Amino acid sequence: MLDSESMSRRGLLKVAGLTALAAGLPASKLFAQPAAAGSPVSSGRALRLAHLTDLHIQREKRAQQGVAMCLHHVQEHAKPDFILTGGDLVMDTFATPIERSRALWDILNATFKNECSIGIENCLGNHDVFGWHKEKAKSTGEEPFFGKRLALENLGLEKPYRAFKRGGWRFIVLDSVFPDGNGYIGKLDDEQMAWLDGELAADTTTPTLVVSHIPILGMTMAAEDKANKAAKLPWNLMHADGLAIHRKFVTAGNIRLCLSGHTHMHDRVELGLPGLAHDAPRVTYLCDGAVSGAWWGGRKNNCDEGYGVIDLYPDGRFEHHYSTYGWKAEG
């Protein structure tokens, strides 16, 4: 298991390939961590959770079989108290007609129900939004299930963002995805930002973990071709308001860890804020690789299909490792 300290020593550039090159190691050695099979329970741990993001369930490419295999691995090896998903649960309902979109949610729910006995808390991703690309989805925008409502209905959620407490920790689930033409942008809208301000002000002591689909801050987007071609940060790969949110988190003082997915690559960024006391807490942003790898087509930029395992402690410390589950994509 990699502890916080050993991870942080590797510096801020945590894009799988770049980090591996810097260390002179193949990326698989760094990020294809074997599961903590029968891992010893760290003393005093408050909770263990598994972070499964970017499942992209579909009929093709044995995706349902892959998700089931991952869920079995989580239950057999990681044995978490609960599973936290990071969004992109289904494949591209954003631009898919409603009949197939509904079928994908049915497959996902059947897989969760039949293959997993651990509680699951869900977060929405861009692929989970129905019909924002109206031409491809053949949607009008007037459907009662348009946008995020189809996902909320299927996941039994009232809102796409929320907070809850468990094991002495607070969990804040954010909704990162907002319309931008036929596409989307990563940010919080005014309503959610006001809610977040209230949530942060209401509790400044409970150690808190935040999950969003799109990274609030991260480095994996630097490894994307479209970022390099545009020579600027693409705001559908990282929150456009990430620094503003980071300021709120550092100032709050009890935001310990922010999890994300979306880029299907693993990275880690630890950041403080200028002008604060030297011992002011930093916030750690961890992007985990995807359960689906490159959408069930193999590894994404040398990052294996996998999931994050996070141990949380009562004093706000955490430990994280990335676990593969043995999936082999079809050649």
Helix (H) or strand (E) holding 245: helix 242-252
For the CB of residue 264, give the shortest distance to Fe ion in the complex, in Å.
6
CB of 219 to Fe ion, least distance (A): 17
Nearer to Fe ion, 295 or 313 (CB): 295
Contacts of 101 (CB under 8 A, 6+ apart): 90, 93, 130, 131, 137, 150
Residue 171: name the closest of 125, 230, 211 by CA: 211
| Part in contact with Fe ion (CB under 5 A); list of ranges 26-34, 88-96, 154-162, 276-284 | 88-96
What secondary structure does DSSP assign to 2-41, as a single string? --HHHHHTT-S---HHHHHHHHTS-HHHHH-PPP-TTPPP
Nearer to Fe ion, 46 or 89 (CB): 89
Size of the site for Fe ion (CB under 5 A): 2
The single-letter DSSP state of residue 244 is H
In the complex, the smallest distance separating the C-beta of residue 220 from Fe ion, rounded to whole angstroms, is 12
By beta-carbon proximity to Fe ion, the closer residue of 46 and 287 is: 287
Q: Which is nearer to Fe ion, 88 or 267 (CB)?
A: 88
Interface region with Fe ion, contact rule CB under 5 A, candidates 2-10, 53-61, 189-197, 318-326? 53-61
Rg (CA), the chain: 19
- Residue number, 170 or 262, with CB nearest to Fe ion: 262
To Fe ion, the closest distance from the beta carbon of 62 in angstroms equals: 17
How many beta carbons lie within 10 A of that of residue 269, not counting itself? 21
Q: How far is CA 25 from CA 14, 33, 196, in A?
A: 13, 13, 40
User: Using CB under 5 A, which of the segments 38-46, 50-58, 97-105, 233-241 binds Fe ion?
Assistant: 50-58
CA atoms within 13 A on the CB side of 190: 0
Residue selected from 50, 54, 90, 249 as contacting Fe ion according to rule CB under 5 A: 54
Smallest separation (angstroms) from Fe ion to the CB of 246? 23
Q: Should residue 305 be labelled a site residue for Fe ion when binding is judged by CB under 5 A? A: no
Nearer to Fe ion, 284 or 292 (CB): 292
CA distance 191 to 238: 20
Rounded CA separation 304/62 (Å): 16
Closer by beta carbon to Fe ion, 123 or else 196: 123
**By C-beta, is 54 or 304 nearer to Fe ion?**
54
x-or-dash pattern for Fe ion, window 89-128, by CB under 5 A? ----------------------------------------
Q: Which residues contact 317 (CB under 8 A, 6 or more apart)?
A: 4, 256
SS3 230: helix
189 three-class SS: coil
Residue 224 has a CB neighbour count (10 Å cut-off) of: 17
- Indicate the residue among 208 and 301 with the shorter CB distance to Fe ion: 301
- In the complex, what is the shortest distance from the CB of residue 125 to Fe ion, in angstroms, rounded to a whole number? 6
The interface region with Fe ion, picked from 6-14, 51-59, 103-111, 311-319 by CB under 5 A, is 51-59
* H or E stretch at 149: helix 149-155
Residue span binding Fe ion (CB under 5 A) among the ranges 81-89, 217-225, 237-245, 323-331: 81-89
Residue 88 binds Fe ion (CB under 5 A): yes
Q: What minimum distance in Å lies between the beta carbon of 293 and Fe ion?
A: 10
Footprint on this chain of Fe ion (rule: CB under 5 A): 54, 88
